Amino acid sequence: MNELDQRTINTIRGLSMDAPHAARSGHQGTAMSLAPVAHVLFSRIMNFNAASPDWFDRDRFILSPGHASILQYSLLHLYGFGLTLDDLREFRQWESATPGHPEVGHTAGVEVTTGPLGQGFANATGMAIAEAHIRARLGADVCDHWIFGLCSDGDLQEGVSHEAASLAGHLGLGKIVFVYDDNAISIDGPTDLSFSDDSAARFRAYGWHVVEAGDIGEDLDALESAIREGMAVTDKPSLIVLKTTIGVPATEHAGTHHAHGYAIKDDEIAATKTAMGLPADETFHVASDVAEYCRTLGARGAERQSAWQARVDDFDGDGIALAALVRGEAPDGWADALPTWNVGESVATRKASGAVLQALADVHPGVLGGGADLTGNTGTVISGHGVFRDEPAGKQIHFGIREHGMGSAMVGMAAHGHLVPVGGTFLVFSDYMRAAVRLAALGHLQMVFSWTHDSVGVGEDGPTHQPVEHVASLRAMPGLDVWRPADANEVAAAWGAALGRRSPAAMVCSRQNVPVLDGVDAAGVARGGYVLHDPEDAVATVVATGSEVQHGVDAAATLAASGVAIRVVSLPCWEVFAEQGAEYRASVIPRTHPTISIEAGTTFGWERHADICLGIDRFGASAPGDEVMERFGMTAGAVVDAVRAAIS
Give the whole-angstrom CA distance, residue 7 versus residue 3.
6
Q: Where are the domains of the chain?
A: 3-303, 334-515, 529-647
Chain centroid to CA 459:
31
Mean pLDDT of 533-540: 96
User: What one-character DSSP code corresponds to residue 42?
Assistant: I
Q: Is the pLDDT of residue 1 over 80?
A: no
pLDDT in the model for residue 213: 98
Helices (H), 453-589: 470-475, 488-499, 522-526, 549-561, 574-579, 582-588
CA dihedral 393, 233, 53, 410 (to 10 degrees): 50
Active site residue 95: no
pLDDT in the model for residue 52: 98
Give the whole-angstrom CA distance, residue 39 versus residue 217.
11
- CB contact set of 586 (below 8 Å; sequence gap of 6+): none
Give the whole-angstrom CA distance, residue 156 versus residue 151.
8
User: What one-character DSSP code corresponds to residue 254?
Assistant: T
pLDDT in the model for residue 554: 98
Q: Is the pLDDT of residue 4 over 80?
A: yes
What is 529-647's CATH number, 3.40.50.920, 3.40.50.410, 1.10.260.40, 3.65.10.10? Answer: 3.40.50.920
Domains 3-303 and 529-647 share a fold: yes
Give the whole-angstrom CA distance, residue 152 versus residue 156.
7
- 278, 11 contact by CB (below 8 A): yes
pLDDT in the model for residue 314: 97
Mean pLDDT of 441-448: 98
pLDDT in the model for residue 192: 93
**H or E stretch covering 33:** helix 29-33
In the chain, count of helices (H) and strands (E)? 25, 17
pLDDT in the model for residue 599: 98
pLDDT in the model for residue 460: 97
Mean pLDDT of 637-644: 98
- 153, 184 contact by CB (below 8 A): yes
Q: What is the CATH number of domain 334-515?
A: 3.40.50.970
pLDDT in the model for residue 39: 98
Q: Which residues share a beta bridge with 433? A: none
pLDDT band for position 558 (50/70/90)? Answer: very high
pLDDT band for position 267 (50/70/90)? Answer: very high
Tens-digit pLDDT profile for residues 462-480: 999 999 999 999 999 999 9
Q: Which fold would CATH assign to domain 3-303?
A: Rossmann fold (3.40.50)
Of the candidates 436, 438, 428, 433, the one whose C-alpha atom is nearest the C-alpha of residue 468 is 428
Nearest 5°: the CA angle 59, 60, 61 is 125
Check 158, 268, 403, 548 and give the catalytic one: 403
pTM for the model stands at 0.97
Tens-digit pLDDT profile for residues 189-233: 999 999 999 999 999 999 999 999 999 999 999 999 999 999 999
pLDDT band for position 579 (50/70/90)? Answer: very high
Give the whole-angstrom CA distance, residue 237 versus residue 207.
8
- 387, 394 contact by CB (below 8 A): yes
Tens-digit pLDDT profile for residues 65-92: 999 999 999 999 999 999 999 999 999 9
Q: Is the pLDDT of residue 277 over 80?
A: yes
